Structure 1
Amino acid sequence: MATATVYDPIEDDARIAPALIRYLGDGDYVTRRYVSRGAEMNTGDYFDHPMPVRDGMPIRDHFTLDTHGFMLGKWAPPLEDFGDTDAVNALYNADVERAVAALTGASFVAAQGWMIRTSADLSARAQEQVENYQHVGGIQPPAGEAHIDYNPLTGERAGARVYAERRPDGPGYRRHCCFSFWRTFSPGPQDWPLAVMDGRSVVGDETANNTLFVVDRFPEGDALTAPVADEDQRIAASIFRHRAAHRWWYFSNMAADDVLLFKFYDSDHSVTWRCPHTAFHDTSLPDAQTRSSIEVRCIAYWE
C-alpha cells in the first residue's frame, strides 16, 4: 500500500481561494477533445467540484519541478506586444528554449509552438469559418477541466519524434521532459488564472485518455463519438476524475516576467513526473482583470 504524502508545513498557512474545478464524471464515456478556431469541446460529462486552491505566490521559491511538478521562475519577456504575431513567431520560441534550459539544466530544449489564451469573449471568432485549422499560433479560451496535455504514450512518442527531427546528429538522451512554459501578459489579478496540481496528490486511478481531434467544425450527434480506427494510438491528453486528495495551487497577480513551468510528462518516474492543471474563476481578489496568457509546449532533454 502506498504511503500518504507528507506535505511541508510551510504550505499550511497559504491563503485559499475557493474554486470550482471541473472534472470528468464517473461514467463510462468515449472521451475526446475537439478543438477549432476560438473554441474547444469535450465529449463525456463533466462536473464542477468545490476545491480549495492555495495561493503559492508568498512562498514561490518553495516549489520545485521534481517535488511538485511545477515551479515559478523569473524570465523577462523578449517583447512587449504579444498581439504582434510576426514578432512572437520571430522571437518567442527561441527565447523559451533558452529560458527552459536555464531553469532546468537541460542540455537541449525544443519549443513546439505557442498559443494565446484569454477569458475575453471569443464567440464571434469561433463562428468564423475556417479551413485546415491548425491548433498553434492562435487565440483560444482558457482550459476548462483538470487535464494534462499529454498522456504517457503521447509524451514518450513526442520525445522521440522531436529529438529525431530537431537533433538528428545528437548523442541521444537519457531523460526527457515535456513542459508547458506559461506566462500572463494582462495585469493582475487575473479573473481566470491557471491552477496547477501538486503531482504527488494524483491518486493513480482517476485518469482517462482524451483523444485530440483538430477540426474545422465540430461534428454533431453520433459523429462526436463514432468509432475511429486506432484511436488508442493517437495523440491524447490525460483527464481526471475528482478525488478529494487533489492538492491545487495557483500564483496570484503574476507579472509579465513571472513564468510558470510545469510538467506534462517526465520520463524519469522516480520524481514527480506530471502536473494536472486547469483554469478556474478566482473570486477571492477584487478588481479582477481579463486574463490574457501565452503558453509554449516544449521538450527538454538531458543527453
Structure 2
Amino acid sequence: MANEPSQPDPIEETARTTITNLNYLLPNGPSINRRFVSVGVEVNTGKYGPYPTTIRDGRSIRHHFTFNKHGFQLLDAPTSVSEFHDKTEVESKYQAEVCAHVKAAFNADLVVSRGWMLRTSGIIPDKSASPEESKKESYRHYGGLQPAAGEVHVDTDPSRQLIYAERAYKAARPDGPGFKRFIISSFWRTFSPPPQNCPLAVCDAQSVGDDEGVTNVLWVVDKIPETEAERLDPAMDDENQLAAAIFLHNPNHRWWYFSRMEKDEALLFKFHDSDRSVGWRVPHSAFWDDSFGDEANVRSSIECRTIAFWE
C-alpha cells in the first residue's frame, strides 16, 4: 500500500514516545536466510543489527487505529482461560474464543485457527536433553513456550500465502463456495501483570513499501544445526517450507505499541491481507521497554494465528 511515505495524522504526534533499539536485517549478510526453531530456541542465519527507533505509545489514542489504514487494533477481548500454561485448558477453550473475536473484529464469514504459541521474556528451561523430551514425537512449532521474537519480521512471506489459505479453507469447508478475500493475522495477548518489560511493537502498514521484505524460510527441527555451514546448506529444500518476511532498516517505518496491556485485551494485527489496496501487513518485533524501570514485569504472552475468509 505504501510505496510512498504517507503523512501521519497530527493526533499521532500527541502520543508518548520511547526510544529503543529494533533489530533489522543487516545488508551484505548471507544470501540464504533461514530461521530454525526447536523446543525453547530459535536461530536465524541472517545477521541483524540494532537501529535506534522511536516507538509511540498508542494507549491514549487507541481508537484512532484502523485495520484498513494501520493494519492493527487493540481490542477488548475477555477470555475464560484462567491458566495459559495449562495446555489442556488452552486447547479446549482458547482457539474458539480467538476465532469469535477475530470474526467480529473483521466482520468475516469464516475464521479458522492455525495454532498458538506462548512466549516469554524470561528464562526458558532447557528441556531438549531431558529423557522425557527424547521420548516425545518430533518437535511441532505449536502450543509450546518460546522466547520473545526480537527481530523485525512478518510471519508470512507474500508469495506463499494464497496456497496456504486455499488449503486451510478446503479443510474447514470442503463444500464451501470459495472465498474472495482472506486475512492471515495474529491475535496477541499478554497475561503477565502490567507493565511488561518486553512488549510487542507493531509497524504502521502505511509506512511499509509493498516491495520491502526478504524471504526467511522456516525450518522446524528437533535439534538446531550446530554449525553455520549446516544451517546454510544450499541443498536444503527451502521451496516447500513455510516462510516469513524480514526487513532491512527503513527510517520511514512508524512504530507503535500499547503499554500496560491487560489480560482481557488483545492486539490484533495483519500478517497478510489479500486485498493490497489497504494496509495489508504489519512488521513487528519484541523490544525492551525501559519506560517503567523496576516496575516492569517479565512478559508472558500467547499468540494465536488465524485466517479470516470472505465468501
Q: Distance in 1 between matches of 2:194 and 2:290?
A: 13
Partner-residue secondary structure (3-state), 2:74:
strand
The equivalent residue for 1:15 is 16
Equivalent pair of 2:3/2:209 in contact (CA under 8 Å): no
The equivalent residue for 1:209 is 215
1:153 deviation in Å?
2.1
- Asked if residue 282 in structure 1 is aligned to residue 283 in structure 2, the reply is no
Distance 1:270 1:3, change over 3 A: same
Q: Distance in 2 between matches of 1:196 and 1:164?
A: 31
Instruction: Write out per-residue CA displacement over residues 96-148 of structure 1, whole angstroms, 9 at most, x where no aligned residue.
Output: 11110111100100011110001110152455454510000100000010000
Instruction: Write out per-residue CA displacement over residues 141-191 of structure 1, whole angstroms, 9 at most, x where no aligned residue.
Output: 000100000011232222111001111111111100000011000001101
- Asked if residue 171 in structure 1 is aligned to residue 177 in structure 2, the reply is yes
Equivalent pair of 1:75/1:99 in contact (CA under 8 Å): yes
1:35 deviation in Å?
0.2
What amino acid sits opposite 1:282 in the alignment?
A: D
Q: Which residue among 148, 151, 173 is the counterpart of 1:142?
A: 148
1:233 deviation in Å?
4.4
Q: Which residue among 41, 44, 54 is the counterpart of 1:42?
A: 44
1:200 deviation in Å?
1.2
Output the TM-score relative to the length of structure 1. Answer: 0.96
Distance 1:2 1:150, change over 3 A: closer
Equivalent pair of 2:149/2:286 in contact (CA under 8 Å): yes
Q: Percent identity?
A: 46
Q: Which residue among 250, 263, 272 is the counterpart of 1:265?
A: 272
The equivalent residue for 1:97 is 99
Partner-residue secondary structure (3-state), 1:299:
strand
Partner-residue secondary structure (3-state), 1:100:
helix
Equivalent pair of 2:4/2:209 in contact (CA under 8 Å): no
The equivalent residue for 1:80 is 82
- Asked if residue 194 in structure 1 is aligned to residue 200 in structure 2, the reply is yes
Q: Which residue among 139, 159, 162 is the counterpart of 2:165?
A: 159
Structure 1 window deviating more from structure 2 (115-124 vs 254-263): it is 115-124
The equivalent residue for 1:109 is 111
What amino acid sits opposite 1:299 in the alignment?
A: I
Q: Which residue among 270, 284, 303 is the counterpart of 1:295?
A: 303
Partner-residue secondary structure (3-state), 1:12:
helix
Distance 1:212 1:2, change over 3 A: closer
Q: Distance in 2 between matches of 1:155 and 1:294?
A: 23
What amino acid sits opposite 1:150 in the alignment?
A: T
1:208 deviation in Å?
0.5
Unmatched tracts of structure 1, length 5 or more:
none
Q: Distance in 1 between matches of 2:35 and 2:104?
A: 33
Partner-residue secondary structure (3-state), 2:14:
coil
1:296 deviation in Å?
0.4
Partner-residue secondary structure (3-state), 1:124:
coil
Partner-residue secondary structure (3-state), 1:181:
strand
Q: Distance in 1 between matches of 2:73 and 2:210?
A: 22
1:14 deviation in Å?
0.9
1:230 deviation in Å?
4.5
Output the TM-score relative to the length of structure 2. Answer: 0.94
Structure 1 window deviating more from structure 2 (244-253 vs 22-31): it is 22-31
Q: Distance in 2 between matches of 1:223 and 1:190?
A: 37
Q: Which residue among 225, 228, 235 is the counterpart of 1:228?
A: 235
Instruction: Write out per-residue CA displacement over residues 189-231 of structure 1, whole angstroms, 9 at most, x where no aligned residue.
Output: 1011000000111134541000000011111221100013552
Q: Distance in 1 between matches of 2:177 and 2:211?
A: 37
Q: How does 1:18-33 map to 2 (within 5 A)?
A: 18-29=19-30, 30-33=32-35
Partner-residue secondary structure (3-state), 1:282:
coil
Q: Distance in 2 between matches of 1:198 and 1:127?
A: 41
Partner-residue secondary structure (3-state), 2:126:
helix
- Alignment RMSD, CA only? 1.5
Q: Distance in 2 between matches of 1:191 and 1:2?
A: 33
1:299 deviation in Å?
0.1
Unmatched tracts of structure 2, length 5 or more:
none
What amino acid sits opposite 2:296 in the alignment?
A: A
The equivalent residue for 1:252 is 259
Distance 1:113 1:220, change over 3 A: same
What amino acid sits opposite 1:111 in the alignment?
A: S
Equivalent pair of 2:73/2:268 in contact (CA under 8 Å): yes
